[in-house]
């Protein structure tokens, strides 16, 4: 059966996450609803990854298997679907892929960005973390370089993650600063539940000199989950890109 990828962007503030849940509204629920309204029949979507409540995405994916879609004008369909969807969700493109392509399992890497701001700014409050504390930026850079060297992330995964391995390959880990806005960019072949927010929160402890770099490094040697700090809120995090 023909398979199609759906590239979406969204502001996650009003949603309980990306994938469908019982008794809570999600990005998937809204997109499936729009598909059923427009195409006049239900279409089951598969998501590329889970993002928590409040997390945003510049790019994320669903896939769907649908007969008869090859004849569609997807640019026109996206226009009409976007008219149905809420203002905080947009379909960027819909396109056919080989039938064996899976939007979750065939991803080469995912790239996340976490944004902090240090001066009060009402335009950033829903998409970045207000963090008006003095930071040693050099320590942030050193901590980020340590992350890139690691492979095991037990301490940076939330409990009950239900994964077979806590091993991740990190391709990029870097902090940047422009005026009062500070961003952490991380790229990896996979991420564990809560991992990016845990990395951010724990590195911020290092930058505030509440935890040493040595103590930070020791976390990667632990084989117990959830030993890092998880206090960085979801609204500062966004999924930047999924690469296939």
Active site residues: 52
**Phi, psi (rounded to 5 degrees) for 123:** -85, -10
Taking Cα atoms as reference points, which of 53, 63, 66, 64 lies closest to residue 27? 53
| Cross-strand partners of 95 | 5
Q: How far apart are CA 44 and CA 3, in angstroms?
A: 12
CB atoms within 10 A of CB 86: 16
Contact 76, 94 (CB under 8 A): no
CB-side neighbour CA atoms (13 Å) of 95: 8
């Amino acid at each position: 059966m023909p398979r199609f990828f759906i590239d979406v962007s969204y502001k996650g503030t009003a949603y309980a996450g990306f994938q469908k849940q019982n008794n809570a509204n999600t990005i998937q629920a809204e997109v499936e609803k729009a598909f059923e309204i427009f195409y006049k029949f239900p279409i089951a979507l598969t998501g590329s990854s889970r993002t928590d409540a409040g997390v945003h995405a510049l790019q994320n994916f669903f896939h769907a298997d649908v007969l008869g879609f090859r004849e569609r004008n997807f640019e026109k369909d996206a226009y009409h679907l976007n008219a149905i969807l809420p203002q905080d969700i947009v379909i960027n493109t819909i396109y056919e892929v080989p039938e064996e392509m899976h939007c979750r399992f065939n991803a080469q890497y995912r790239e996340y960005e976490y944004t902090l701001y240090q001066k009060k700014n009402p335009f950033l409050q829903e998409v970045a973390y207000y963090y008006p504390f003095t930071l040693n930026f050099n320590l942030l850079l050193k901590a980020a370089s340590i992350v890139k060297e690691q492979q095991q992330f037990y301490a940076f995964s939330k409990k009950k993650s239900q994964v077979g391995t806590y091993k991740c390959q990190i391709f990029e880990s870097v902090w940047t600063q422009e005026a009062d806005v500070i961003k952490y960019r991380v790229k990896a072949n996979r991420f564990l539940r809560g991992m990016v927010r845990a990395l951010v929160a724990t590195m911020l402890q290092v930058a505030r000199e509440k935890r040493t770099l040595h103590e930070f490094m020791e976390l990667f040697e632990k084989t117990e989950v959830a030993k890092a700090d998880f206090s960085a809120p979801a609204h500062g995090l966004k999924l930047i890109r999924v690469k296939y």
